[in-house]
Amino acid sequence: MPKSAIIRRFGGPEVISIEEVPHEKPGAGQVLLRHQASAIHLADPLMREGLYYFKPDLPAVLGIEGAGQIEQVGPGVNNFKVGERVSYRFSLGSYSEERVIDTQHLQKLPNEIDTKVSVAIGTRGLTAQYLLRQLYPIKPEDIVLIHAAAGGMGGVLTQWAKHLGAIVIGTVGNREKVKVAELNGCDYVINYNQDNFADVVLDITNNIGVPVVYDSVGLSAYKNNLKVLSPRGWLINYGHSSGFLPSIDAMELNTKSLVFTKASLKDFNSTAEDNHRMITEVNEMITGGFIKANITREYTLDEISKAHEDILNRKTNGTVILTFND
């Protein structure tokens, strides 16, 4: 019988149980998918703890992004075939060897895109697309600050920003990650656990500051983020790995006419057309060789609790994924 990682209550890593579950048959408009890989996001342990904005009904199979091969198609499915490779995002249940899924969630994987690469970059690529190409469109020579530049999201953002011609200042949490951020393409790397990143950024920019900060760190970086922005600069917060942001003080933004936004992918790819356009662009970035996945570790289903601990404790760099035996 296939195995899944299930939670029956919210809590620490111990609430995850790896269980054998009966084979399911796909219903109308569904397929049975054998997973080859699943993304592991920082959001996953938060969801497990019940701290994510989306709280799943319990019991739940964790994991929201997967890819694999279609094993069986349900009645009325004529746009997907047995044997095709597909990927999906935002559908709970990817921490499982196999699952039934509605075809509306699926995208066919182009031959040139490896299944593991698709889950490593997938959502992160879409997020980078809206952050760099829609929300604050990067221009050549823009000096941008990207936090956690050795991480999964930061790695994709850095590579794409470099492709667009930006000068990238990246922050990282330890010495080992400095090299990773450099390999991602950062022009300058700051260890923000060692140095005050605001001082270093102002030094690099001759006290002018940067026009945009791409921030996934949240609370611990907030005050310094305001300091490093040039007048009319954009503070784009798209995550809060270190804790929730304080209430935003409009008068503080007014001191430099700053723009603050707390952005979320769902508001950029909510129509099928937008989603398709963004996925096409991400696929082009992958097949063009402009974004590499940098998968640094593949965890097995039995190791998923360990993966959660590693990501929460900032022990990972690059991208980590979950893989399954064929």
Ligand X SMILES: NC(=O)c1ccc[n+]([C@@H]2O[C@H](COP(=O)([O-])OP(=O)(O)OC[C@H]3O[C@@H](n4cnc5c(N)ncnc54)[C@H](OP(=O)(O)O)[C@@H]3O)[C@@H](O)[C@H]2O)c1
Q: Do 159 and 290 contact (CB within 8 A), yes or no?
A: yes
The minimum distance between CB 131 and ligand X, in angstroms, equals: 8
Interaction of residue 172 with ligand X, rule CB under 6 A? yes
Site string for ligand X, 266-305 (x = CB under 6 A): ----------------------------------------
| Among the residue ranges 4-12, 13-21, 120-128, 225-233, the one whose residues contact ligand X (CB under 6 A) | 120-128
Cis peptide before 75, with omega less than 30 degrees from 0? no
Q: Which residues contact 30 (CB under 8 A, 6 or more apart)?
A: 74, 77, 100, 101, 102, 103
CB 285 within 8 A of CB 110: no
**What would the two tokens of residue 249 be?**
């003080």
| Beta carbon of residue 46, minimum distance to ligand X (angstroms, whole number) | 8
Distance spanning both ends of the chain, measured CA to CA? 14
Q: Decide if residue 127 touches ligand X (CB under 6 A).
A: yes
Q: Which of 17, 104, 264, 280 binds ligand X (CB under 6 A)?
A: 264
For ligand X, the closer CB: 217 or 286? 217
How many C-beta atoms surround the C-beta of residue 106 within 10 A? 20
Check residue 177 for interaction with ligand X (CB under 6 A).
yes
Q: Is 256 exposed, middle or buried (0-12, 13-18, 19+ CB in 10 A)?
A: middle
Task: Tell whether residue 150 is a contact of ligand X (CB under 6 A).
Answer: yes
Which residue in the set 226, 265, 285, 304 belongs to the binding site for ligand X (CB under 6 A)?
265
Residues in touch with ligand X (CB under 6 A): 41-43, 123-124, 127, 148, 150-154, 172-173, 177, 216-217, 238-239, 241-242, 263-265, 311-312, 314, 316
